């Protein structure tokens, strides 16, 4: 009998989401996770860099284009490499990833795997109706994170 409901096994491994990283990022004892929307204000990156310096932590960033649970997140590689250059210039240990299919899960997984001291996220003002219909990655992260979450507009 044919099983129509299960997915076939992957023939190829999933590609890595990591776009760029400093050589010393995996040796860092503490981590700040940054979820950076491509159209967010410079204050979001400034807050994340300040938190990483204050905590003497590596900065692991995920660059994304949209913040809904129903639309795929996009992150142009040029944005990721530009962010990597900015973090290298700031003198931080860093990793920059492109967004996967579930931004909230990716942020939470990164924070959990590296014992994040804080998560910094770009926040966008939405009406309660739009949040109800489209969902929000930020809401899911706030509800499920085991460390403090800093939302910056």
Q: Is the dihedral of CA 67, 72, 76, 77 positive or negative?
A: positive
For residue 25, what is the DSSP state?
G
Task: Give the residue among 6, 4, 57 at the shortest CA–CA distance from 31.
Answer: 57
Residue-level pLDDT at 142? 72
Residue-level pLDDT at 4? 59
Secondary element (H or E) of residue 97: strand 94-98
Q: Is the dihedral of CA 137, 73, 121, 14 positive or negative?
A: positive
Helix (H, G, I), strand (E, B) or coil at 148: coil
pLDDT in tens, the chain (153 residues): 555 566 666 676 667 889 999 999 999 999 999 999 888 889 999 999 999 999 999 999 999 876 555 554 455 788 899 999 999 999 999 999 998 888 889 999 999 999 999 999 887 665 555 554 445 677 777 778 888 888 787
Residue-level pLDDT at 146? 82
Q: Which residue bears the tokens 């490499």?
A: 81
For residue 15, what is the DSSP state?
P
Orientation of helix 42-55 relative to helix 77-89, angle to 10°: 40
**Domain residue ranges in the chain:** 18-152
CATH code linked to domain 18-152: 3.40.50.620
């Amino acid at each position: 009998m044919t099983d129509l409901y299960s997915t076939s096994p992957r023939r190829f491994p999933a590609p890595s989401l990591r776009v760029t990283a400093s050589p010393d990022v995996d040796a860092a004892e503490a981590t700040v996770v940054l979820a950076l929307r491509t159209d967010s204000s410079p204050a979001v990156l400034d807050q994340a860099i300040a938190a990483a310096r204050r905590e003497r932590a590596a900065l692991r960033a995920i660059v994304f284009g949209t913040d809904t649970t129903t639309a795929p997140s996009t992150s142009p590689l040029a944005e990721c490499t530009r962010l990597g250059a900015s973090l290298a210039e700031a003198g931080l240990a860093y990793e920059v990833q492109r967004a996967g299919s579930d931004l909230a899960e990716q942020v939470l997984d990164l924070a959990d795997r590296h014992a994040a001291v804080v998560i910094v996220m770009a926040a966008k003002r939405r009406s309660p109706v739009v949040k109800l219909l489209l969902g929000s990655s930020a809401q899911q992260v706030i509800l499920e994170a085991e460390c403090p979450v800093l939302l910056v507009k």
